[in-house]
Amino acid sequence: MRSRQRADIGRNGWHGAEIGPEGTAFVTEGLLEGTQIATPEGWRAVERLSPGDRVLTFDGGPQPVIAVQSALVEAGQAAWPQAHWPLEVPDGALGNRGVLRLLPCQPVLLESDLAEDMFGDPFALVPAAALENWRGIARAAPRPQETAHILILPTDAVIYAAGHALVYCPADSSAGLPGFGEDPAGYVPLSLATAREFVACLIAEDIGAALRGAAPDGSQAAFRALSP
């Protein structure tokens, strides 16, 4: 999505912006308006969260929101390269309840035995773009206008979105605010290339599991069930 405030995004350090060849800032990371976030008081839309509110983190319990970065962006198929389109995650694909929409560079935490085999850690932080074609996850045309939000927490953290989907939120050590950058959780996203290799292995693993559970003559049905 192309920002209507591209100078602000480019100069003030928006975490999720990519600058195009003509100086246009493309918002590629953050949580889109309407995304439900887990808090100690229940689920709240990301746009309703403000500094001082608490969110539930994956491994640190409730944590306060220190700051919120928001960008009103204008999009549309003609003006937005397909590589920057959001991804639509079907109900249940990442443990989410209902459809979840993710910007392509938004890091998502996956847990898998395969991750432990490949990286020595059962958890892998991958950019959402790498999830394309896994469990029906696909690009979706951007809406004419959307708002993206990045929640800044005291340390790097992973929070719950739309159920059990796990999405990354950064700490901003450059802001100079108390608590930022202290005792970081150590979340490091995989590169897009490595993440795609990992997800390709997850796809193969899902196909193998489906075939093992299929009737002897049900292989084609299993493949159809796994198709995007």
The answer to whether the beta carbons of residues 102 and 128 sit under 8 Å apart is: yes
pTM for the whole structure: 0.79
pLDDT higher for 4 or 33?
A: 33
* pLDDT for the residue 143: 84
- C-alpha angle with apex 18: 178 to 151, nearest 5 degrees? 35
Pairing outcome for strands 61-64 and 54-57: antiparallel
Pairing outcome for strands 145-152 and 67-74: antiparallel
* pLDDT for the residue 172: 65
pLDDT higher for 71 or 178?
A: 71
* pLDDT for the residue 183: 42
Q: Which two tokens stand for residue 116?
A: 């432990």
* pLDDT for the residue 26: 65
Average pLDDT over residues 129-137: 96
Predicted confidence (pLDDT) at residue 21 exceeds the cutoff of 60: no
Predicted confidence (pLDDT) at residue 16 exceeds the cutoff of 70: no
State the pLDDT confidence band at 78, using cuts at 50, 70 and 90: low
pLDDT in tens, 30-58: 999 999 999 999 999 999 999 999 999 99
State the pLDDT confidence band at 28, using cuts at 50, 70 and 90: confident
pLDDT in tens, 153-206: 999 999 999 999 999 998 865 444 333 334 445 688 999 999 999 999 999 999
Nearest to 185 by CA among 168, 202, 198, 200: 168
Radius of gyration of the chain (CA): 18
* pLDDT for the residue 22: 45
Look at 14-18, 100-104, 119-123, 217-221 and tell me which has the smallest mean pLDDT.
217-221
Average pLDDT over residues 90-109: 96
pLDDT in tens, 101-132: 999 999 999 999 999 999 999 999 999 999 99
Q: Other CB atoms closer than 10 Å to residue 90's CB: what's the count?
A: 15
* pLDDT for the residue 57: 96
The beta strands (E) that lie in the chain are given as: 2-3, 17-19, 25-27, 31-32, 36-39, 42-45, 54-57, 61-64, 67-74, 87-89, 100-102, 107-111, 123-127, 138-139, 145-152, 157-161, 165-169
